[in-house]
Amino acid sequence: QYDPADASAPAAPSGLAVAPVNGGLELTWSPVLENDVAGYAIHFSERSFINPQSAGVRSVPYLEGSTRHILTGISEITFVRITAVDFSSNGSAPTELVSALPLAGDAAAIELTTDTVSTSVNGTVNLSASGADSYDWDLDGDGVFEVTDDATGSHSADTSATGIIRPRVRASDTGGTSVALGGLSLIITGKTRPVASAVADPQSGSTPLAVTYSGFAEDIEDGEALTYAWDFDGDGIYEPDTDTTNPAAHTFLSPGLFNSRFYVEDTEEAWSVASLAILATGEDHSQPLASFSADPPEGSYNTDISLDASGSRAAQGETITQYAWDLDGDGTFETDAGTDPLHELNIPEPGYYDIGLRVTDSGGQQATVDITYTVHGWRTKLVQAGTVDDKTGYFPSLAVVAGQPAIVHYTIDPYNVIFSRAGDPLGVEEDWTILNLAFQGSFVCNQDSLSEINGNPAIAFTDVTSLDLLYARSSSSTGELLTDWTTVTVDFADDVGYNPSLAVIDGNPAIAYEDMTNKSLKYARSTSSNGMSPLDWTQIVTVDTDYAKYPSLAEINGRPAVSYSEIDIDAVKYARSSSTDGALPGDWADHVVMDSADSQISYAAGLGLREISGRPCLTYVEGVNGRLFFARALQAEPGNFNDWNSVYIDGELNHRVGFYGNLSVLDGKPIIGYLDNELDALGLARSSTLQGNHPSAWNDVSVTEFDAPNPAPCNFAVINGHPAFAFSTSFSAWYAILF
């Protein structure tokens, strides 16, 4: 069968896999379905290689005729590639490189015998194997082991077809690691079965992919008296009306790898099958596709949006009969646009909006798609309405509680602490729960008075009657029931607890607060993670005996730290404990004045001490002009004024900004929310860098555009990735978030 004019190499084998066995490697691969393939060359080396002809690469000294081989005589990790070789000695490209380490032990030895080497069709040929515990049998030599885990070692060959068949046996021990292969050739005489081959053009492409097939069949006895059938999609079912060698072209509408088959049968039901692999890529054209775009891609206040669904399509051979829109995100496609793919709508306020499209084609099939459309801007929510008498919403503290925004604030007449929590993660879609905790609270809400302590909301505040520092915590994660809350007294001294700042320090709740009697700064930390017993709050120390106000407590590089104002000298001060809990007076010996009276600072600290990029950072306000500054330490533990870098953010002479400001972090960068008194609006300043230590980093300064007269007091926080404010206006508690 050697053809000297044949210079075309066969296709490369695919699916080469390797499994370690005793004393060798078991190799398996998928056959190359070309009629002139003589066998497979096996190349191996103890080093990785690309070219089988490279130095140091060895080859099995014969062609393997099957798609399974046990490579023996090796003990180190071995790299293997195989090539297909045709009858004219043309070699294919090598397979992908595989490798494995043989198992210890000796390879199995197997003996396979037969009582005859030839018989007629359906004659009896007994096969006998020995030398192993278990045998897998390929009785007709087609490469598939029809019988597995046979312990007898005896079977009869499948002689139902004429020609030369090569039964094979795979033998193994009980552990499956000692493996051997054996095979022999049998001549089955009688009427031959037909030979089938097929070609397809093209064999790959994007859907819809039209493929033309052509089959060839040959049978010595029957000549052309043959029957044919085609299975185009490889599902095992031969298509009707395909008794021909040249069927009508088949179109693949869905992507996938399809094993098309050409079946040939002679007059005595001997048969043969040729297979072709068809690769279809792209979209599924057997189903409609829903697709649309929005212009503009994102919006702002009162946005007019143009929706364009002309990119949708029907299933192959059908047309779109309806475009239906779901414009309110409820899953119901309430807007029937008929056959018009264009639609206009207006979204009046900021937020995230789900917009859906459903297309229906003339075949009755449907497809849907949806997007989330973002309208940027501030969205406000009335949390609790108040009156001129009760002044609801005063001094709010804003935080995330159980994944949703929460605010604690107080009313003035009478003095009561109010806890409110949103009904959704961004706080604008559902109503807020309102819980009057009936605590006597004055100056309850420094910006850090509300915090999540060990998974549950907690509050630090002052009892207006006893002038004691109190701590309250809910026993539930949401804090929505009055019975959930328990209150303990932290400090019984007179006139203490003003402007409390609550934080988690070394795993336990801690509070920094003012002692108005002694005009000093105090610090208390619980000895338990919940702080629910008065006995937990025995660790109370004085941080600074000077006239200290507006503290902000945070854990900085693993130790408690406080920023605050010293009123007597109009300076910002910073103190950091030398221990992880700050429980001893000696822990707070050092106080750093980070700005001096030259700046005439007022309300200078208590504006949200934060650790950002490994350094303590805070904001402060210049008292005379009311200008806002951002300060960042130049090192993890600043020692004096020269260790701080202050950057001017906003404000000018007689334009007072920065009051009630708070520092937070968004996307790892500093962000400050504050009150602009001159514009009677809430201001937002964002740093474009992680450090914010240069004036040019703070070019993004804006004020909110919603109508909120005299929005003070206010508090700022980052809520689930969005800048947000809690504030009091018109004697009511309000909330605003930026989309």
Give pLDDT, residue 362: 96
Nearest alpha-carbon partner for 190 in 97, 118, 88, 137: 118
φ and ψ at 62, to 5 degrees? -155, 165
Structure tokens at 731: 């004697």
CA atoms of 733 and 472, how far apart (whole Å): 21
With beta carbons less than 8 A apart as the criterion, state whether 665 and 643 touch.
Answer: no
How many angstroms separate the CA atoms of 215 and 198, rounded? 4
Q: Say what the alpha-carbon torsion angle 635, 639, 642, 645 is, to the nearest 10 degrees.
A: 40
User: How far, rounded to the nearest angstrom, does the alpha carbon of residue 353 sit from its chain's CA centroid?
Assistant: 22
Is residue 635 packed enough to be buried (19+ CB in 10 Å), middle (13-18) or exposed (0-12)? exposed
Residues in the chain: 739
Compute the distance between CA of residue 314 and CA of residue 698 in angstroms, rounded to an integer. 51
- In this prediction, residue 75 carries a pLDDT of 92
DSSP codes joined into one string, 683-702: EEEE-SSSS--SGGGG-EEE
- What per-residue confidence (pLDDT) applies to 653? 54
Question: What is the per-residue DSSP string for 18-84?
Answer: EEEEBTEEEEEEEPP--TTEEEEEEEEESS--S-TTSTT-EE-SS-B-SSEEEEES--S-EEEEEEE
Cα four-point dihedral sign 64, 69, 74, 80: positive
User: Radius of gyration of the chain from Cα atoms?
Assistant: 41
Amino acid at 679: L
Rama region for 654: left / alpha / beta (φ>0; ψ in -120 to 50; rest): left
Copy the structure tokens of residue 334. Answer: 């309430």
| Phi/psi at 321 (5° precision) | -105, -15
Q: Which residues pair with 281 in a beta bridge?
A: 206
Nearest to 525 by CA among 512, 513, 510, 543: 510
**pLDDT tens digits for range 128-139:** 999 999 999 999
Residues of the chain with pLDDT under 50: 445, 597-606
Token pair recorded at residue 16: 């080469």
Token couple for 382: 């009335």
Q: Give backbone dihedrals phi and psi of 697, rounded to 5 degrees, phi first.
A: -70, -15
Burial category of 150 from C-beta neighbours within 10 Å (exposed 0-12, middle 13-18, buried 19 and up): middle
CA distance 480 to 213: 71
The rounded distance, in Å, linking the Cα atoms of 510 and 587 is 15
DSSP class of residue 116 equals -
pLDDT, residue 391, reads 84
User: For the stretch 316-353, what's the b/e string if a residue is b when 16 or more beta carbons lie within 10 angstroms of its beta carbon?
Assistant: bebebebbbbbbeeeeebeeebeeebebebebebbbeb
Give the closest residue to 682 by CA, choosing from 652, 649, 713, 653. Answer: 713
Name the region of 465 (left: φ>0; alpha: ψ -120 to 50; beta: rest): alpha
In this prediction, residue 1 carries a pLDDT of 65
Q: Which residue has the tokens 């007629």?
A: 120
What are the tokens at 482? Answer: 């009055």
Write out the H or E segment, with its range, that includes residue 471.
Answer: strand 469-474
Q: What are 540's two structure tokens?
A: 């109370």
Residue in the structure block whose two tokens are 């209150």: 487
pTM check: above 0.85: no
What are phi and psi for residue 494, nearest 5 degrees? -70, 140
Determine how many CB atoms are found less than 10 A away from the CB of residue 721. 9
